[in-house]
Structure 1
């Protein structure tokens, strides 16, 4: 399913749903960030996705990162809540969703990098190389906050 991210767009369609999503800034021992290239919009992002019934938020983080990247992680902290109503995601099935994501810090504990149906590329990226990648501003903000090692979580 394809998606279009509308960001600060006065002509964006009105959101019709909100779904709890999780994402993670995963850093290895060298400080590199685990990045995927999404198959639904061809942009780079941190791994993440929707929570499923019966899951905890940290359980959803572990599952989503594993599904999209092949990397097993341990959640190590909370980065923030991202719920900007000016960021809506329009899906090809007609759904228009307001951004609502809980972003966590995590570290790898095993697994092997691999792609999935949701990720056409998976790679560890040096922080100074992130500027070269096509990353949505909302995701870039989460990465920035994750790299800052903030003492308080971000919230909107």
Structure 2
């Protein structure tokens, strides 16, 4: 018996789907970095979330940071690309500067704080702390890393 598969069925099985998220590493003049404690799991992370399909990348960063923290930011540069290999999420992380606003909680955050780099390392899981520490490097070249949701790979 000969079976035929349509091109669309063949393509849908072989084409991996990924979600794209964006995050802002917002750094004040004193070197402290904006962070949130997520409402859904209690972890500390840089503010960010899923990029909307019709949204420009930088607009998504500004929107996510403002929604989660109340801070309006200017987006400066891409500092890293991080892939969660287990969940198929690619995160684009950008260095940002605060422009205006006052810290506030949202439905997605139970705390908003400005952390030192040492506090970032103490409070955040490795896969989130590295995003901030990479952004604080004085390098024009973005880092590209993979992780399993908990630990960096390779």
Task: Return the TM-score normalized by structure 1.
Answer: 0.78
Unaligned runs of 5+ in 2: 1-15, 146-154
Task: State the partner residue of 1:127.
Answer: 117
In the TM superposition, residue 119 of structure 1 has moved relative to its aligned partner by 0.5
Which segments of structure 1 move beyond 4 Å, counting only runs of 4 or more? Answer: none
> Superposition pairs for residues 112-151 of structure 1, below 5 Å?
112-133=102-123, 135-151=124-140
Q: 1:74 aligns to what?
A: 74
1:100-115 matched pairs, under 5 angstroms: 100-115=90-105
Number of aligned residue pairs? 130
RMSD: 1.4
Query: Does 1:52 pair with 2:52?
Result: yes
Q: After superposing the two structures, state which structure 1 stretch, 57-66 or 142-151, moved more.
A: 142-151
Q: Deviations over 1:41-73 (max 9, x none)?
A: 101000000011221000000000000000000
**Residue 22 of structure 1, CA deviation:** 0.3
1:82-101 CA-partner distances (Å, limit 9, x unpaired): 1141xx3xxxxxxxx32310
Structure whose residues are more often helix by fraction: 2
Paired residues of 2:121 and 2:129 also in contact (CA < 8 A): no
TM-score normalized by structure 2? 0.79
Matches of 1:144 and 1:49, distance apart in 2: 19
1:5-37 C-alpha deviation (Å, 9 max, x unpaired):
xxxxxxxxxxx8521100111101111000100
Q: What is the alpha-carbon distance in structure 2 between the residues aligned to residue 41 and residue 63 of structure 1?
A: 21
Q: Residue in 2 aligned with 1:4?
A: none
Say which structure, 1 or 2, has more relative contact order (CA 8 Å, 6+ apart). Answer: 1
Q: Which runs of 5+ in 1 are unaligned?
A: 1-15, 89-96
Q: Distance in 1 between the 2:121 and 2:91 partners?
A: 22
Q: Distance in 2 between matches of 1:17 and 1:30?
A: 40
